Structure formats: C-alpha cells, structure tokens
Amino acid sequence: MGRSETSLAESVCLALVVTGVEYGGAVADLLAPGAEFGRIWTLSRPLTYRAIDALVAGGRLQRSGTAPGRGRERTLLHPTRTGRAATRSWIAEPVEHLRDVRTVLLLKFQLLERMGESLVPLATRQRDAFAPLIAALTSVPPSDVVGTWRLEHALAIGRFLDSIIGDRA
C-alpha cells in the first residue's frame, strides 16, 4: 500500500475476507449492528465499501469474478499474499491502550475464533504488555474518581485476560 498502516476499518474488512467472506455485502452484513462483529464494532455499508476499495487499491485485496445466484451481482474478493500477511501480523499484535480492549482486542479475539485459532497466545502477549501499567496503577491507591476508574478498568481487563488464558490453556 502507499501507506504503511491500515485503518481499523481496513484491517477488519481485510481480516474478514481472509477468513473466507467472499464479497463486500457479506462483510458489511457482519459489521451491521447486532451482527457477529457488529455487536462489538459497527461499520456502515458505505464505509465498508470504502475500506474494501482502499484495500484493493493498496494491493491487499483483489476483485475477481462474481458470486453465482440471483439478485444483485456480487463481486468476489480474494486476499493477496500481502493481505494475508498483514492480517496475520495485525491479529497477533497486542493493543497499546486499555481503551482499545473493548473494540480492537475483542475484534481480534472474534476473528481468531472464526479462524479456529487459539486465543491464548494473543491473550498472553496482551497480559504481558499491560502488566507494567497494571502494576503501576496498583502501586499507589487512587486519589480521585478517574484514578479509581482506571484502576478498576485495568484490573477487570487483567481478570478477563487471565480467564481467557485459564479457560483455553
């Protein structure tokens, strides 16, 4: 691609195609409110197609042929070798901020489950990445409501990761 990083929308759309979703409408359906991925994070149909167009322009997806069936023509999408590698790399990478657990990390876990892969390696890397932050937050009692929120949020994330590691190890 012309730029080194993809947006969250592009990363998620690409990963869904890598998991076997064959056309843009199906990607959009999975990201609709209440859908498998939409219950974590939603993306409108126009923004889904914009992300797919950027991935095609960047050489991470290819369009080829159409899906059989009645109704609207559905152009098939296929990940390129570069697209597959980008997805593997993105999914394996822990998130940087506690605030990204609710969306980005949950999306990665859901994608890993869809791929039939273990969540434990990513959960372990994520727990290790957050360990210094959690230790720092627990070393000094919070002095205000924001500090209390940050501490409780961090502890809850630690318990969440520990439960994933323990339940699936």
pLDDT in tens, the chain (169 residues): 344 568 999 999 999 999 999 999 999 999 999 999 999 999 999 999 999 999 999 999 999 877 666 657 788 999 999 999 999 999 999 999 999 999 999 999 999 999 999 999 999 999 999 999 999 999 989 899 999 999 999 999 999 999 999 965 5
Confirm whether 63 is domain-assigned.
yes
Range of the domain at 13: 8-93
Burial 32-42 (b: 16+ CB within 10 A, else e): beeeebeebbe
- Kind of pairing, strands 75-79 and 61-66? antiparallel
Residues 24 and 63 in one domain: yes
Backbone φ and ψ of 62, nearest 5°: -125, 145
Confirm whether 72 is domain-assigned.
yes
Q: Is 137 exposed, middle or buried (0-12, 13-18, 19+ CB in 10 A)?
A: buried
Q: Three-state secondary structure along 18-53?
A: HCCCCEHHHHHHHCCCCCCCCCCCCCCHHHHHHHHH
Residues 153 and 82 in one domain: no
Confirm whether 75 is domain-assigned.
yes
